[in-house]
Amino acid sequence: MNFKTLTQLPSLMLLGSSLVCSAMAFAHQEGDVFVRAGLGAVMPNESSDDPNDIGELQLNNDVNLAGTVTYMLSDSTGLEVLLGLPFTHEVSNAGKGAVASGVVAEVSHLPLSFAVQHYFAEADSDIRPYVGAGFNYTSFLDEEGKGILAGRTVSVDNSFGYAIQAGVDITVSDDLFVNLSAWYLDIETTVKASGGVQDISATIDPLALMLAVGYTF
């Protein structure tokens, strides 16, 4: 994944939303509370140093359930919390010299993000694009060594960084809507393993996408 992809997402979302027709009134208004729930995909844009001469670390993508809760401070400003079930990634080394590439660990993480959002268009518009920015706290769990790290204790430090997002809500009925959204999460961490393995500094910085159904209370 490339960060440039994120810059193209708002245009793609607006293009997609323009193809949707809706005849019913819709609103995100001051004081509203609404939830979104659906499928989230996490696609790491990883890099790492290589103090152990095994090649950089690589992570695969994962899909799981995710959701958000939003409170509207005004007709155009919202506060959002992003939650999800744990996303699990296989961690592989790229290989270097006589060391072959392969899966060296498995790790899960829980993303928790808070954002201030700005909603475009009028409060009663059928289609409301938005952008947001805030911070992200990622906790890692269930780390397990595999391959050349099998039998070793593996741990990954929790991370605190920034988060930026873009999305669009599209009317279905008075209370229901569909959502397309994307986040870019800043995740910097250190991977540790027992048995004389040197600590590895890693950047994950995933692009997270969600397709969801929303409900306004």
Return the structure tokens found at 190: 């250190």
pLDDT, position 210: 97
* pLDDT tens digits along 16-75: 544 444 444 556 899 999 999 999 999 999 999 999 999 999 999 999 999 999 999 999
Low-confidence ranges of the chain (pLDDT < 50): 3, 5, 17-24
Identify the pLDDT of residue 10: 54
Amino acid at site 64? N
The pLDDT score that the predictor gives to residue 2 is 52
- pLDDT of 25: 52
pLDDT given at position 7: 54
**CATH architecture under which domain 3-216 falls:** Beta Barrel (2.40)
Model pTM score: 0.83
Handedness of CA 125, 173, 170, 83 (dihedral sign): positive
Q: How far is 193 from 144, CA to CA, in rounded Å?
A: 10
Strand 87-93, strand 188-193: pairing = unpaired
The full set of domain ranges for the chain reads 3-216
CA distance 59 to 36: 27
Instruction: Quote the pLDDT of residue 174.
Output: 84
C-alpha distances in angstroms, 71 versus 31, 43, 209? 7, 27, 21
Structure tokens at 13: 């979302």
